Structure 1
Amino acid sequence: MAFNGQQLQGHQMQQLMAAFADVRQQAKPQHLSNTLWAVATMGQQVPAAQLQQLLTAFVGVLQHAVPQEFSNTLWAVATMSQQMPAAQLQQLLDAFVGKLQQAKPQELSNTLWAVAAMGQQVHVHHLQQLLDAFWGMLQQVAPQAISNTLWAVATMGQQLSAQQLKQLLIAFVGMRHQAKPQHLSNMLWAVATMGQQVPAAQLQQLLTAFVGKLQQALPQDFSNTLWAVATMGQQMSSQQLQQLDDALAGTLQRASPQNVANTLWACAQLHFLPKRLLAAPGLAGLLQAGSAQGLANAAWACGQLGHRDEQLIGVVLTEVQQRLTAASSSSNTQDLCNTCWAVAVLDLQQHAAQVLQMAQACSSMWSSTTAEEKRQLWQVHTWLLDFQPAGAQGLQGSLTEQQLQQCRAAWDKALQQTARQSGSDFQLSVLAAVHRLPITWQQQPQMEQLSVGRDGVTTDGALLLDIAGRTASNVLVAVEADGPSHFRRPDGGLMGGTQYRNRALAVRGYRLVSVPWFEWAQLQGVKQQQQQQYLLRLFEQAGVLSPAAA
């Protein structure tokens, strides 16, 4: 039926399938399997009732079937996005496992892929038998078979041992140049989904291979690759990220909302601003057609990267609000808190009323809020108080007094944990240099200090400062040793959280002296006098010292 890539008309297919279903009891396993394979290969469907008749017939002749016929049958059902009753599936798998000695790697791989694609499970003892057989054939396998096997294990929520994964990765990396972008992408996605790691050297080999095939890649391949690297907490070079940004922006019309939202989330985790994707026409409309989580992830990514796209955030807020009022609202506290947080970090004061409404929605599902979400809401509350007139209440009224207290407690606990950590060599080095400056202090600069409020005296705990002091002239000084996490790629701009911190310090009357890690690194090993001159220049630029004093 699918000979030479040709197609049948719908009515021809119906006639053939009806005739074949009538004679199914006389059909051999190969005939049944090939028929289903052909229909699926042509991208067509077998009606559910006929499919069940053919599957029942196939199960009746299992003892005569060879592994390829099991594999093709399961592959066809999964490819047609149909289902097989669990009992039938178990019968097929029992019989298939009994004939493993005759199975080829692709047949094992396709079987696992099909079960996972149908959202079903292979019992652990069967899975181990299938995988053991697969390991024994690694010398014969193609990249797709390894990729599909690993994808299936991850999709079924199962695990591989570290040794098994190591073997698969070594084999796959050795044939990476023959792999298609989807195989490379699925491989990385599966490892990340299982909560495991690809060693850095192998990761770079796979990423280099993927970047070399970008023209053949689909938006989902870009998205899954970036998501995997970010989820594993690993890194990509700015050049690789730039190439992926350019390629994805060029294929945006084929992307799904989830592809785009996952890409933005991953780029934010990797501290990379995907300028071309963010500037692509139709981005906001595409996200609008997606899930509440996708919208919130896009807003969170903009906040994290300090990308103040008022149009995009406006679209997200409008859509989130409309969904909040819908009877079948799928919004949850994570989506709402991520969106509120993004508005606060980007200082979009015109959306304060919408933030209050979203916080009120969180209040009504409070039991599901996490500690991280409570910290986000406390930041939002602090942001509202910072720009609202005196006497304003922030999130009071949207959240109950008890809920606000819980937010404050979550925030304070996180600051206390940070304060208890010993300072980095970078921070200690900057502190020592600040102490050597010819400045008279009313309060000596110290590390890990809580911020004071607008009155300049009372601690408000809104921020934890790397180094803080007060000069004899009563000038509050915050010295921040800004490491790599404060800067985004490729433009070196400040991340959203750092922009938020800088605004919050200014509101509280602090003069901010920011010491970027890359500038301080250039001063290591030089005379103390040069470090002193550098810091004095920063103190002067911050308005702590007059030019004459410096």
Structure 2
Amino acid sequence: MRKRQACRWIVATLLAGCWLCNGKEPNFCGTVALPSWGATVTYGGRSLPGRLPRRVRERRRQAPDGSADGEARRLTSQITKAGSASELLSLLDKPVENAKLFNGFHMSAAWTTLARFKKRRQFRKADARSPVWAKLSVRLHKMLQDDLLPPRVAANVFYSVGKLYDEVDMHMMQVLPKLCKAVRAKTGGMNAQQISNCMLAAVSLQDASPEVLDAVPALAKRIPDKVEEMIPQALSNCLWAAANLQDASPEVLDAVPALAKRIPDKVEEMIPQALSNCLWAAAKLQDASPEVLDAVPALAKRIPDKVEEMNPQDLSNNLWAAANLQDASPEVLDAVPALAKRIPDLVEEMIPQHLSNCLWAAANLQDASPEVLDAVPALARRIPDKVEEMKPQELSNCLWAAANLQDASPEVLDAVPALAKRIPDKVEEMIPQALSNCLWAAAKLQDASPEVLDAVPALAKRIPDKVEEMNPQDLSNNLWAAANLQDASPEVLDAVPALAKRIPDKVEEMNPQDLSNNLWAAANLQDASPEVLDAVPALAKRIPDLVEEMIPQHLSNCLWAAANLQDASPEVLDAVPALARRIPDKELQKPELVAKLQAKLDRRQH
């Protein structure tokens, strides 16, 4: 027995000696797994605890960091295992104020876990009112002040704040600028995923604090160096973020070429949402960074393989993007048939914006990809159920699309009565372009769907309030529509005086079609609304400058209008010589009319 005890003592002493000679003082930061302090030996098939020398036992008892480390690790475990946001916030109430315990790892874990609850829709209004947010904010502010957040933690917290800011903005307003500065300063130490997450956060937070945008150039500068390491989702997120940040922070465009070049290598691994976000971003970025078009063919080729997995938003975004990219990258049309075929299966799940975007895209794609028309009947049937939820722009887009699709897909007319009925309730919220598009569409649809006329009085009444904000095309479309609607809906004439008064201020910006449409409309409206004649002199004066760009229809319309306006507004004759000189070049044979107008001009000049 004595011999066995002696053996145990010798083994324990040897182990303790090895530890004292070779072991380093552990770092009690609470972020890494630490070695066990107790030695265990196996003897005779049983595990028995070793006995350390008294000097070692005393050092262990006197080391407060050891217990602190255990407490730190327990806190980390409790944070990550919290079952709800309220449970986690309650857990943090005391520890967050303990500077010796609550470190950067806890800060990161707390924020990311809370953001995860928000993503899962497990974040309640009561959670946002917790007093712990103020304490968490104070602790974060102090850690930022003392530069205690490494790059990974800064990125994680920034991303999570982006997810939660709407709920906790009052607590984060003061600390957000410091967090942005930390992110900007630490981009060099961030990996590809962290940079991607920070870009997403910048999109969410760009309106919350000006300092957010200060971090974007540094992030964008790092992206080209990291694209090779990026997973498909990170590439997609970065491109999507660039599209959303390009106006506020143009430096983000420096990252686009590298992203666009890398994306084709990763499309096979992309989930439907990533494909959709990339194509949408390409449509948004094509003017500012044409290099983005390098990614489009590969995306378009891959999309048909994934349409069955796409949700309504993916389908809507892709079709909208295809409509916007068709001229710059015709390869995008390869995706359209599969998208159009899938849309009818998901229209019941579409929100108003999806329906509106799809119908608008179909109208714009019908010539280049007629297969898109397969989606129209289902969209048209669903729209009436959603008009009450539609925003003004969505109503306008749908009515405009219906006007453009009526010949190729008459089923679209099923949506018109409900749209027309809803528009009067929304005219006060409509921007000038929406008003213009609606009135133009009403003029186009009046024969096929007379119910559209129900929207005209409200539109005509609202237009005068918005003419100062209208661009030349809006003015032109409105006056043209008024001319076409005057018999079926005389109320449209209420808009004419204000339009006619505004047109002279915009003639210098008008293109040939605008000039032609306005002069034609003036000729048709002069009897019912003589105020329209106020626009004629300025139009007639401008036409000679643009006759070289006019197509035959423009020339013909202008000449016809001049003939009909010559008595009421002789100034229109100023446009005749230039029109007459251009006519032979366009093979328009109206010599008698030209001669009469020329003679009238000669008499006027003498």
Does residue 399 (structure 1) correspond to residue 580 (structure 2)? The answer is no
Give the whole-Å Cα distance in 2 for the aligned partners of 1:368 and 1:300.
20
Show the counterpart of 1:369: 550
- The code of the aligned residue for 1:169 comes to A
2:296–2:331 Cα contact (<8 Å) kept: no
* 1:28–1:51 distance in 2 versus 1, CA, 3 Å: same
**If the length of structure 2 is used for normalisation, what is the TM-score?**
0.61
1:211–1:244 Cα contact (<8 Å) kept: yes
Show the counterpart of 2:457: 278
Shift of 1:257: 0.8
Does residue 342 (structure 1) correspond to residue 521 (structure 2)? The answer is yes
Q: What's the CA shift string for 1:458-482, capped at 9, x where partnerless? A: xx9xxxxxxxxxxxxxxxxxxxxxx
- The code of the aligned residue for 1:316 comes to L
Give the whole-Å Cα distance in 2 for the aligned partners of 1:289 and 1:236.
35
Does residue 266 (structure 1) correspond to residue 441 (structure 2)? The answer is yes
Give the whole-Å Cα distance in 1 for the aligned partners of 2:587 and 2:418.
38
User: Which runs of 5 or more residues in structure 2 are unaligned?
Assistant: 1-160, 597-606
**Larger deviation: 312-321 or 86-95?**
86-95
Q: How does 1:8-47 map to 2 (within 5 A)?
A: 8=169, 9-42=172-205, 44=207
Q: CA RMSD in A?
A: 3.3
2:475–2:499 Cα contact (<8 Å) kept: yes
Question: Of residues 214, 227, 231 in structure 2, which corresponds to 1:66?
Answer: 231
- The code of the aligned residue for 1:6 comes to E
* 1:407–1:65 distance in 2 versus 1, CA, 3 Å: same
Give the whole-Å Cα distance in 2 for the aligned partners of 1:123 and 1:246.
41
Give the whole-Å Cα distance in 2 for the aligned partners of 1:200 and 1:50.
45
Q: How does 1:154-165 map to 2 (within 5 A)?
A: 154-156=323-325, 157=327, 158-159=329-330, 164-165=335-336
Q: How does 1:413-432 map to 2 (within 5 A)?
A: none
Q: Relative contact order: is structure 1 or structure 2 higher (C-alpha 8 Å, sep ≥ 6)? A: 1
Show the counterpart of 1:472: none
* 1:407–1:297 distance in 2 versus 1, CA, 3 Å: farther
Show the counterpart of 2:424: 249
Q: Secondary structure at the match of 2:330?
A: coil
Q: What's the CA shift string for 1:121-143, capped at 9, x where partnerless? A: 46666322222222212221111
Please identify which structure carries the higher strand content.
1
**Larger deviation: 288-297 or 347-356?**
347-356
2:246–2:253 Cα contact (<8 Å) kept: no
* 1:79–1:87 distance in 2 versus 1, CA, 3 Å: closer
Shift of 1:299: 0.7
Give the whole-Å Cα distance in 2 for the aligned partners of 1:353 and 1:411.
32
Q: How does 1:30-179 map to 2 (within 5 A)?
A: 30-42=193-205, 44=207, 49-82=214-247, 83=250, 88-118=255-285, 119=287, 120-121=289-290, 126-156=295-325, 157=327, 158-159=329-330, 164-179=335-350
Give the whole-Å Cα distance in 2 for the aligned partners of 1:124 and 1:23.
31
Give the whole-Å Cα distance in 1 for the aligned partners of 2:226 and 2:577.
69
Paired residues in the alignment total: 411
- The code of the aligned residue for 1:401 comes to P
1:333–1:368 Cα contact (<8 Å) kept: yes
Show the counterpart of 1:355: 536
Shift of 1:342: 1.4
1:299–1:342 Cα contact (<8 Å) kept: yes
Show the counterpart of 1:289: 469
User: Which runs of 5 or more residues in structure 1 are unaligned?
Assistant: 417-451, 454-459, 461-550
Q: Secondary structure at the match of 1:212?
A: helix
Please identify which structure carries the higher helix content.
2
Shift of 1:394: 7.7
Shift of 1:301: 0.8
Give the whole-Å Cα distance in 1 for the aligned partners of 2:481 and 2:231.
51
Show the counterpart of 1:313: 496
Give the whole-Å Cα distance in 1 for the aligned partners of 2:412 and 2:310.
31
* 1:198–1:206 distance in 2 versus 1, CA, 3 Å: farther
Give the whole-Å Cα distance in 1 for the aligned partners of 2:373 and 2:187.
53
1:375–1:410 Cα contact (<8 Å) kept: no
2:236–2:275 Cα contact (<8 Å) kept: yes
- The code of the aligned residue for 2:572 comes to L
Query: Once the two structures are aligned, what percentage of the paired residues are identical?
Result: 21
Give the whole-Å Cα distance in 2 for the aligned partners of 1:363 and 1:124.
39
